[in-house]
Amino acid sequence: MGEVDYTLVNRLATEIGPIFDRSVDILKGMKMPDESYNVIRNQYYARVLLSKLERAKANQREKVLAICEEDLYVPDENFVISYADRLSGVSSVSLFQIRQEFYGLPEDERLVYDRLYKESVSQMGYLLEIPYCKNARCVHYFSRNMMEIDQKSSKFCDVCARMLNGKS
């Protein structure tokens, strides 16, 4: 959604499919919905974004994951890196809080991709009804910030992997 580096999206689409044994289509880019923008917070309301994604779904089984550069929020949080609605099968991941430059550090696209990958794998796991994991090393641990994403691995732990296998 919005202006996102296509090489990141393309690489993610290629690598995430096999993890879940599903085919992945890259949908046509969408504009960030104006109605999701909160001028006071200078952020985008994740729930409004998700309702737009829900309308883009081709069928009930399909899951839609949006990638954007804009900073997302929900009312009780300062920001959200990713946000999902399991019932409607849609999720969004923002690159805003996982770019190093946000913390005044030099940009590193490889790290940005690693973080995007981990968040996206975890979001897909969540959409496939695998509960968030308590193991801080597991990719499906619920990360609140960039540091927590960096501390976890890019793989499911044994417990989550077993649940995932049970679903395919």
Give the binding site for Zn ion (CB under 5 A).
133, 135, 138, 140, 157, 160
Nearer to Zn ion by Cβ, of 83 and 141: the residue is 141
Least Cβ distance, residue 142 to Zn ion (angstroms)? 11
DSSP secondary structure letters along 14-72: HHHHHHHT----PPPP-PPPGGGEETTTTEEEHHHHHHHHHHT-SSSS--EEEEESS-E
Nearer to Zn ion by Cβ, of 66 and 130: the residue is 130
Least Cβ distance, residue 121 to Zn ion (angstroms)? 11
21: left (phi over 0), alpha (psi -120 to 50) or beta: left
Nearer to Zn ion by Cβ, of 65 and 157: the residue is 157
Least Cβ distance, residue 58 to Zn ion (angstroms)? 30
